[in-house]
Amino acid sequence: MRINTIAALLLLVSGLLPFGSAAQQRFKAGLIAGVTASQIDGDASAGYHKVGLQAGLRGVTVLKEKQEVSVEILYTQRGCRNEAKTPPFFKTTLNYIEVPVQWHYNDWLVDQGDDADNYYRVQIGAGLAFARLLGYKDDSDGSIAGITPALPDLNRNSFSFLISATLFANKYLGFNFRYNRALNKLYKPGKPGTNYAYSLNEHFLSFQALVMF
């Protein structure tokens, strides 16, 4: 993804930042930081062993009292890794720019005695995400384990569905769990010039802290 495309997405999210009291009721924005635990079906190991970083921005539009829609731009590390202390040893980090779009439903109203300070304790969400592979780092041991032979031929575009759940400690701070699963293959064997025998499909977990303004 080119720099000007990333800048345009940042402007899209920052354009949802609130200005004035009326806008604050309709639009919200937030910061996201957390970690991912990833797995790629088709490597030589099962389990969410690859830990990565995730950070970015969220813009929110309030649809009605309990419903919202959000768009985010995230830097997300995904990939795969062998089970701890179990050969064959491999670790591959995939670096993405990710744009999730979600619908959210809020529940469990916490009444602070002032409508402006009230908030919902629980939020669930579902949506779709597009991600663009920026690059990768391979720390495998030189064997054919993992996805090393497939790296030059990876699909750079990723489409996934996601579900999420957030618990808010107060009006501004929430803790989010998210599950993403790719709808398209990271790699398909059989193309001329490719040298990896298995299809690759990504899925990953995200554990995030969310600060809303």
Share of the chain above pLDDT 70, in %: 86
Measure Cα distances from 208 to 34, 48, 96, 153, 164 in Å: 4, 16, 17, 31, 10
pLDDT at 113 over 90: no
**Which residues span the domain enclosing 86?**
3-12+26-212
Cross-strand pairs, 34: 54, 208
Q: Is residue 21 part of a domain?
A: no
Cross-strand pairs, 101: 71, 128
Cross-strand pairs, 99: 130
Q: Is residue 92 part of a domain?
A: yes
What pLDDT is stored for residue 35 in this prediction?
Answer: 98
Strands 91-110 and 173-182: unpaired
pLDDT at 70 over 70: yes
Residue 40 carries which side chain, given as an amino acid letter? Answer: I
Q: Is residue 100 part of a domain?
A: yes
Span 76-112, pLDDT tens digits: 999 999 988 778 789 999 999 999 999 999 999 999 8
pLDDT at 3 over 70: no
The pLDDT confidence band at residue 46, using thresholds 50, 70 and 90, is: confident
| 40-44, 59-63, 93-97, 206-210: the lowest-pLDDT one | 40-44
CATH number of the domain to which 176 belongs: 2.40.160.20
CA dist., res. 31 & res. 173, Å (int) = 10
SS3 assignment, position 34: strand
Q: Is residue 173 part of a domain?
A: yes
Total domain count, the chain:
1
Q: What is the dihedral of CA 193, 3, 34, 100, to 10 degrees?
A: -80
Q: Is residue 89 part of a domain?
A: yes
CA dist., res. 89 & res. 86, Å (int) = 7
pLDDT at 21 over 60: no
CA dist., res. 100 & res. 106, Å (int) = 18
Q: Is residue 20 part of a domain?
A: no
Q: Is residue 83 part of a domain?
A: yes
CA dist., res. 131 & res. 42, Å (int) = 20
Sign of CA dihedral 79, 83, 85, 89: negative
For the chain, what percentages of helix, strand and coil (3-state, to nearest 5) are there? Answer: 10, 55, 30
Strands 201-212 and 173-182: antiparallel
Span 144-193, pLDDT tens digits: 678 998 999 999 999 999 999 999 999 999 999 999 999 999 999 877 66
